[in-house]
Amino acid sequence: MSIADDLRARIARRDITFGIVGLGYVGLPLAVELARAGYRVLGHDVQQRVVDRLNAGDSHVKDVPSAALQEILAAGRFEATADPGRLGEADAISICVPTPLSKTKDPDVSYIIAATEAVRRTLRRGQAIILESTTYPGTTREVMLPVLEESGLKVGEDFFLAFSPERVDPGNPTFHTRNTPKVVGGITPACRDLACALYAPAIDTLVPVSSTEAAELVKLLENSFRMVNIGLANEMAIVCDKLGADVWEVIEAAATKPFGFMKFLPGPGLGGHCIPIDPHYLAWKMRGLNYKTRFIDVAGEVNTEMPVYWVRKVAEALNDASKPVRGSSVLVLGVAYKKDIEDIRESPAIDIIRLLEQQGAHVRYHDPYVPVFKEDGLVLHSVPLTAETVATADCVMVVTDHATIDYALVAAHAKRVVDTRHALATRGL
Spatial neighbors of 253 by CB under 8 A, at least 6 apart, are none
Q: Could you give the CA distance from residue 296 to residue 317 in angstroms, rounded to a whole number? A: 32
Q: In a 3-state reduction of DSSP, which class is residue 155? A: strand
Residue whose C-alpha is closest to residue 95's, from 113, 76, 72? 113
Q: Could you give the CA distance from residue 405 to residue 397 in angstroms, rounded to a whole number? A: 13
Q: Could you give the CA distance from residue 184 to residue 215 in angstroms, rounded to a whole number? A: 6
Q: Which amino acid type is present at position 55?
A: N
Q: Could you give the CA distance from residue 41 to residue 30 in angstroms, rounded to a whole number? A: 10
Residue whose C-alpha is closest to residue 154's, from 130, 188, 183? 188
- Helix residue spans in 244-367 (DSSP H): 247-254, 278-287, 294-320, 348-358
Residue whose C-alpha is closest to residue 274's, from 232, 219, 323, 314? 219
Helix (H) or strand (E) holding 321: none
Give per-residue burial for 337-357: e unless 16+ CB within 10 Å, then b.
bbbbbbbbbbbbbbbbbbbbe
- Catalytic position from the list 96, 196, 274, 395: 274
Quick check: is 191 catalytic?
no
Q: Could you give the CA distance from residue 281 to residue 166 in angstroms, rounded to a whole number? A: 15
Show which residues are catalytic. Answer: 274
